Amino acid sequence: MKIGVFVVDDHYMVIEGIRSLLQNEKTLDWMGHATNAESCLSFLKLYEPDVILMDVNLPDKSGIDLCKEVKQLYPAIAVLGLSTFNQQAIIKNMMDNGALGYVLKNATKEELMEAIISVQKGKVYYSLEVLNSLRKPTPNQLLITRREKEVLLLIAEGLTNAEISEKLFISIPTVNTHRKSLLEKFEAKNTAMLISKATKLGSV
């Protein structure tokens, strides 16, 4: 019984690369590809692959959202996250939304095969690099509260404390408190460093 594989990625070269890597694998059945979330969902109405390789950055919606939808509609399909970035926040998000594994786009053929076979069996798979990055002592970035995240986003948009307080219906001192805990949690010296770190970690 072959493993049906489907790929969703907005870059044709990447799709072609994966197809080329996997084309001689007799245990796999290349079911096709989609370059956006919509056509992926259309495909799934007609066919049910065993494994979907899913890029986290898609033109119409994020891979994270698509992953969630796919898992709700077709729980049997194993989703394997795929991206160029090695960022805890994104990976964690992807896994929380039903992905069974995560590989980077510089993965070798062997890694990719191992990942596909693993998730098809229902086993979790992370590529080596992803594992290493997840092993790093978790900085406090993951522990941002809901409110702090709201404030962070507004700061990044360029709002001042006064504007944020108005928008969130809280007092300026409160905004300041959140601001201070954000600086602490991100180990940032000031706003610039905060936004810089937060953006790179995918929190913004």
Partner DNA sequence: TAAAAAATCATCTTTTTTAATGATTACGTC
Partner DNA sequence: GACGTAATCATTAAAAAAGATGATTTTTTA
Which residues of this chain interact with DNA, rule CB under 7 A?
Answer: 143, 145-148, 155, 160-162, 165, 168, 170-171, 173-174, 176-180, 183, 189-192, 194
Q: Residues binding a copy of itself: what is the number (CB under 8 A)?
A: 36
Strand 51-55 vs strand 3-8: parallel, antiparallel, or unpaired?
parallel
* Integer Cα distance of 109 and 158 in angstroms: 44
- Note whether 97 binds a copy of itself by CB under 8 A: no
| Minimum CB distance to DNA smaller for 18 or for 94 | 94
| Minimum CB distance to DNA smaller for 52 or for 155 | 155
Give me the least distance between CB of 26 and a copy of itself, in Å please.
18
Query: Structure tokens of 86?
Result: 């090695």
Contact criterion met (CB below 8 Å) for 79 and 52: yes
* Integer Cα distance of 140 and 152 in angstroms: 15
Strand 51-55 vs strand 101-104: parallel, antiparallel, or unpaired?
unpaired
Give me the least distance between CB of 192 and a copy of itself, in Å please.
5
* Integer Cα distance of 45 and 200 in angstroms: 36
Give me the least distance between CB of 75 and a copy of itself, in Å please.
28
| Minimum CB distance to DNA smaller for 57 or for 174 | 174
Strand, coil or helix: what is 144? Answer: coil
Applying CB under 8 A, which residues contact a copy of itself?
A: 10-21, 35, 84, 104-108, 155-158, 160, 188-196, 199-200, 204
